[in-house]
A and B are shown apart, each in its own frame.
Chain A
Amino acid sequence: MTEIFGVPIQALFGQLVLGLVNGCFYAMLSLGLAIIFGMLNIINFAHGAFYMIGAVFTWFVLDTWNISWWWSLLLAPLAVGIFGIVVERLLLKRLYKVDPLYGLLLTFGLALVIEGLFLHKHGSSGLPYGIPEVFQGALNLGFMFLPKYRAIVVGATLAVCFATWFVIERTQLGAYLRAGTENPPLVQAFGINVPVMITLTYAIGVGLAGLAGVLAAPTLQVSPLMGSNLIIVVFAVVVIGGMGSILGSIVTGLGLGLIEGLTKVFYSQASNTVVFMIMVLVLLVRPAGLFGREK
């Protein structure tokens, strides 16, 4: 069998694909964080919790009502988005006039509440969720076997990220959004309902997290703790990429996933710290982040 640096090429590509799958979740979550931050000026600590809700929701509806993964793909982001609207209207709305740090603290508390409730209900062990039948098995690419479902996750993420980029950069609605990010009072003066836009932005941002949760359910362990483990890495991703550009967060997310996959092959002890170490490097060399602008 062919080897690269003493590693079988099969294993190398296998880990790279796995890394890419993780990178997809980083990209989708940091994308949502960036959109929310742009409009609300709040870092949504509860983002990991929303992602977890998406995954547990997917498991729950299959387990109780036998609702398939395909329906969850639609229902979970919707449910998470509606929950997001409630959170924004009831809680976050009251914090827009104070220091943005309070938004971080509130969503941190919210994340603890959500995670605690799910832990109480489901316990910390993983909830089993199978891969949808159509995607079982693997494709033979000649040099490796590509599990079908992983290919689907990567494809779906790229599609969703592209769609988000397109809506924000190329449509009327996106233009309002970008204008609202720059100067909310002026946009409001032009007769656009900014508060509704803010609410919808938050709903879409957390909806993306919910969708990431649905995609994660068949391939990662579904558990109430899955969100908080992920969100801190995503924060590091956001620091590395900077929240200035949408394309930036997507590229950074996928790239760091790949690097993490590579690290697993060559020096597995560092695989869960490599993202943080890259963050340290980036802070030393380019404090504003790879795609960020220093304000």
Chain B
Amino acid sequence: MTKARARYLGYALLLAAGVLAPLVIYPVFLMNALCFALFACAFNLLLGYTGLLSFGHAAFFGTAAYVTGYTAKVMGLSTGLAILAGTAAAVLLGIVFGGLSIRRQGIYFAMITLALAQLIFFFYLQAPFTGGEDGLQGIPRGKLFWVINLENDRILYYVVFAIFLFGFLLIHRTIHSPFGQVMKAIRENEPRAVSLGYDVNKYKLMAFVLSAGLAGLAGATNAIVFTFVTLTDVDWHTSGDVVLMTLLGGMGSIFGPVVGAFSIVTLESKLSDKVGSLVTVIIGAIFCVCVLLFRRGIVGEIQGLYRRVVGNRV
């Protein structure tokens, strides 16, 4: 079996697993995990492929969630349009945030995105339309294209799965495009990319906006799944969670964030009723272990192991 064929077989198996999963596993849990997987993939586009560590991605996730919730519930937009409106809001916010934060590099970039996200957090805390501490409750799931009834968890699952696939394939396409190559060049050596004549800031901004938009798509979808949005969605803990998912799964690999997101979402749902408030401690400890012991993440380590084994045989 050739390598390419093995890869296609692998993809087909994963796709089949995605289609069959809701028959075995609780669909709402799966949908939540898929939304966070898309969120983490979008984040990875920035950290793993462009080398920019954003500590404020919850702002895009949460903004899209609030806009989707508000347009669907109060303005009565149909579900599809509401998700689009949420995503568009995240893109606009991404242009503003990106334009500001790419003015500084490295550690400053991380601090600026964190501070901007906190600004957004306080805005939503006080703004009348978000419901403040109570959150935005009772968002209708509605019907997609006026026909498909999303109240049914199974049906909604396939819609969410399709949205995830769309986002995932878009990211896959992006990183294998010439644009993606320039992103990686910036990650590896920014001055060199500049000297080759690339307008580095333009590329960084484009990557940032794309990442923000997809993070928004994930947040918008998550709002429809849970039918409520709370301040947790824009909190800096959520920004930290998505960093951890990417780090744990393996940054700079396309499947890494998916693996990371499923691991963390599973962990949080299994642990929260057992250890309660100690979840944060465990999340923090995983962070430290990842940074100290395996910076390549789960997928990166497996790939490394595989290469070593195959390399030895040859």
Contacts and interface: CB of A to CB of B under 8 A. Distances in A.
Interface of A: 37, 43, 91, 94-95, 98, 100-102, 104-106, 108-117, 119-120, 228, 232-233, 235-236, 238-239, 269, 272-273, 276-277, 279-280, 283-284, 287-288
Nearest to B104: A287
B19 to A, nearest CB: 35
A46 to B, nearest CB: 10
Contacts of A102: 291, 295
Interface in B117-132: 118-119, 122-123, 126
Contact of B119 (A101, A105, A113, A276): A276
B107 interface: yes
Contacts of A114: 284
Contacts of B281: 112-113, 116-117, 120
Counting chain A CB atoms within 10 Å of each CB, the highest count among B126, B281, B291 belongs to: B291
A95 B106 CA distance: 16
A282 to B, nearest CB: 10
A273 B110 contact: no
B108 A106 contact: no
B262 interface: no
A287 B100 CA distance: 9
A279 B115 contact: yes
Q: In this complex, which of A106, A108, A115, A284 has the most chain B Cβ atoms within 10 angstroms of its Cβ?
A: A108
Interface of B: 53, 100-101, 103-104, 106-108, 110-112, 114-116, 118-119, 122-123, 126, 236, 240, 243-244, 247, 276-281, 283-288, 290-292, 295
Given A101-B53, A273-B119, A113 B104 contact: no
A108 to B, nearest CB: 6
B240 A108 contact: yes
Contacts of B111: 43, 235-236, 238-239
Contacts of A277: 119
A277 B243 CA distance: 25
8 contacts: A105-B53, A109-B284, A112-B287, A113-B281, A119-B277, A239-B112, A279-B116, A283-B101
Given A106-B291, A287-B103, A232 B115 contact: yes
Nearest to B288: A109
Given A108-B240, A279-B112, A273 B123 contact: yes
Contact of A108 (B104, B116, B287): B287
Nearest to A41: B107
Nearest to B276: A120
Contacts of A94: 292
B286 A109 contact: yes
A91 B292 contact: yes
B284 A116 contact: yes
A110 B286 CA distance: 10
A117 B276 CA distance: 12
Contacts of B290: 105, 109
Contacts of B107: 37, 43, 100-101, 104
B132 to A, nearest CB: 13
The 8 closest A-B pairs by CB, nearest first: A109-B287, A112-B284, A116-B280, A116-B281, A113-B284, A276-B119, A287-B103, A236-B115
A43 B108 CA distance: 9
B292 A112 contact: no
A26 B260 CA distance: 35
B187 to A, nearest CB: 11
B115 A113 contact: no
A62 to B, nearest CB: 25
B104 A101 contact: no
A270 to B, nearest CB: 9
B115 A91 contact: no
B284 A104 contact: no
A128 to B, nearest CB: 21
A236 B108 CA distance: 10
Contacts of A105: 53, 243, 247, 287, 290-291
A93 to B, nearest CB: 10
Max chain A CB contacts within 10 Å: which of B115, B126, B279? B115
Contact of A276 (B116, B247, B277): B116
Contacts of A284: 100
B39 to A, nearest CB: 18
A104 B126 CA distance: 30
B280 A235 contact: no
B106 A100 contact: yes
A92 B260 CA distance: 24
A117 B126 CA distance: 30
B115 A235 contact: yes
A262 to B, nearest CB: 18
A283 B291 contact: no
Given A43-B111, A91-B292, A239-B104, A232 B236 contact: yes
A153 to B, nearest CB: 25
A95 B291 contact: yes
B121 to A, nearest CB: 9
Contacts of B108: 239
A120 B278 contact: yes
A43 B106 CA distance: 11
Contacts of B292: 91, 94-95, 106
Contact of B104 (A228, A232, A283): A283
Given A43-B110, A112-B283, 4 more contacts: A91-B288, A110-B288, A115-B280, A116-B277
A109 B288 CA distance: 5
A265 B143 CA distance: 48
Given A94-B292, A232-B118, A280-B100, A113 B53 contact: no
